[in-house]
Amino acid sequence: MAHKLAIVGFGGMGTWHYENVSKRVDEVEVKGVYDVRQEPMDTAASLGLKTYGSLDAVLNDPEIDIVTIATPNNFHKDIAIKAMRAGKNVISEKPVTIVSSELEEIMAVAKETGKLFSVHQNRRWDKDYLIIKKILSDKTIGEPYYIESRVQGSRGPLHGWRGYKVNGGGMVLDWGIHLLDQMLDMIDSKVVDIDAHLFSIHTPEVDDNFKTMIKFENGVSYLVEVATNCFINQPRWHVCCKEGTAVVENWDCDGKIVKLANNDELAWEDVIVYTSAGPTRTMAPRPEETTEQLELPEVEADWTNFYRNIAAVLDGKAELIVKPEQCLRVMKVVDAIFESHEKSHSISVNI
Ligand SMILES: NC(=O)c1ccc[n+]([C@@H]2O[C@H](COP(=O)([O-])OP(=O)(O)OC[C@H]3O[C@@H](n4cnc5c(N)ncnc54)[C@H](O)[C@@H]3O)[C@@H](O)[C@H]2O)c1
């Protein structure tokens, strides 16, 4: 039988959960909705969903098995704790909380109640990310040493609650959290250093653009960038490995891999090449016959596996994919990003 889900917060993302779970995940049934505003409640009623008059009403409904929280970020913690104490399993939207200590409070209650707690880090199922993850795990171009992961737009000031500190607004906690979660999911090493640069170009209270350089114990450096004021985009991914380079240009996953055709070719003749910028040994392009171009790998990218996994865990058939301990590492990186910004220097960490 399908697990019964209630959605708390029925705005943009709450509606997305309803539409996608209803259409695509047989294991979970969206039963009802609670929102503090009347308009989303009317929408929910028109969709044939049960509308609850309060959060307590949701939590008192014995049929509800899972609560998905899709409110602004600052409400996640209290709703999650209350729901678990009422015996519900909880999925929180990202960012799970605003600081790592709040997640630790949630995790203590999850332990105390034995309830499932997970975070909707849906971008672990994005095709562009899974392509890069596969290139690295297959070692198609050897070991990585430098990775750039960025999303760039030019739509300016952040809207609504995303523009306010009290709500946990800003781009580090918004898109940044996805890119940081992907990073920690992919790089199997400790974070040792964080150097963050946050900008408030059009949104005075919070960061609307940021870049952060992250160093891992295994020698990998990783740039994460989120921009809302960028008018000429760079590739979504640029990945430097010892034997080649991979680029994913965009969410449509255009891109390529260029690798050395033969490792022996790395021993390069010490000749000067005359380019339009003058003579150079190191910066001249490599003759094409010494490299080979590969297509990006095919990957299976199915977001529904997020909810299928939750249902399987509740049925005792699987291990949780998005674990709170993983989200805690992400939140500790976020804490250090804000600390680096406040202190205007890099921060040594052990995360
Ligand atoms: N995973 C993703 O890809 C993704 C994408 C967008 C948003 N989100 C996350 O989803 C959450 C909601 O974002 P959104 O864009 O849908 O915002 P939104 O403003 O469109 O919707 C939020 C809704 O929550 C309601 N609400 C506010 N306080 C409430 C409370 N205490 N109890 C019940 N309802 C309450 C509001 O009335 C509103 O309808 C945020 O945490 C955001 O970061 C995740």
Atom of ligand 1 nearest to the CA of 160: 19
Which residues touch 27 (CB under 8 Å, ≥6 apart)? 2, 3, 307, 308, 311, 312
Fold annotation for 124-300+332-348? Dihydrodipicolinate Reductase; domain 2 (3.30.360)
* Contact 72 CB / ligand 1 (< 6 Å): yes
Phi-psi region of 344 (alpha: psi -120 to 50; beta: other; left: phi over 0): left
Buried b (16+ CB within 10 A) or exposed e, 297-321: eebeeebbbbbbbbbbbbeeeeebb
Measured distance CA(3)–CA(63) in Å, rounded: 9
pTM assigned to the model: 0.97
Fold annotation for 3-120? Rossmann fold (3.40.50)
Atom of ligand 1 nearest to the CA of 75: 31
Measured distance CA(115)–CA(112) in Å, rounded: 8
* Contact 12 CB / ligand 1 (< 6 Å): yes
Measured distance CA(213)–CA(210) in Å, rounded: 10
Query: Closest by alpha carbon to 163, among 208, 218, 194?
Result: 208
Ligand 1, atom 39, lies closest to the CA of: 11
Q: pLDDT tens digits for the chain (351 residues)?
A: 899 999 999 999 999 999 999 999 999 999 999 999 999 999 999 999 999 999 999 999 999 999 999 999 999 999 999 999 999 999 999 999 999 999 999 999 999 999 999 999 999 999 999 999 999 999 999 999 999 999 999 998 999 999 999 999 999 999 999 999 999 999 999 999 999 999 999 999 999 999 999 999 999 999 999 999 999 999 999 999 999 999 999 999 999 999 988 766 556 666 788 888 888 877 877 777 888 999 999 999 999 999 999 999 999 999 999 999 999 999 999 999 999 999 999 999 999
Q: Which two tokens stand for residue 42?
A: 């009317």
Give tens-digit pLDDT for 268-325: 666 788 888 888 877 877 777 888 999 999 999 999 999 999 999 999 999 999 999 9
Measured distance CA(164)–CA(109) in Å, rounded: 28
Give tens-digit pLDDT for 112-131: 999 999 999 999 999 999 99
* Contact 56 CB / ligand 1 (< 6 Å): no
SS3 315: coil
Structural contact between residues 74 and 12, judged by C-beta atoms closer than 8 angstroms:
no
Domain chopping of the chain, boundaries? 3-120, 124-300+332-348
Phi-psi region of 224 (alpha: psi -120 to 50; beta: other; left: phi over 0): beta
- DSSP state, 48? T
Atom of ligand 1 nearest to the CA of 120: 1
CA 19 to centroid of ligand 1, rounded, Å: 15
What Rg, from alpha-carbon coordinates, does the chain have? Answer: 23
SS3 16: helix
CA 10 to centroid of ligand 1, rounded, Å: 7
**Spacing of C-alpha 58 from chain mean position:** 28
* Contact 88 CB / ligand 1 (< 6 Å): no
* Contact 18 CB / ligand 1 (< 6 Å): no
Ligand 1, atom 36, lies closest to the CA of: 9
CB atoms within 10 A of CB 27: 17
* Contact 153 CB / ligand 1 (< 6 Å): no
* Contact 160 CB / ligand 1 (< 6 Å): yes
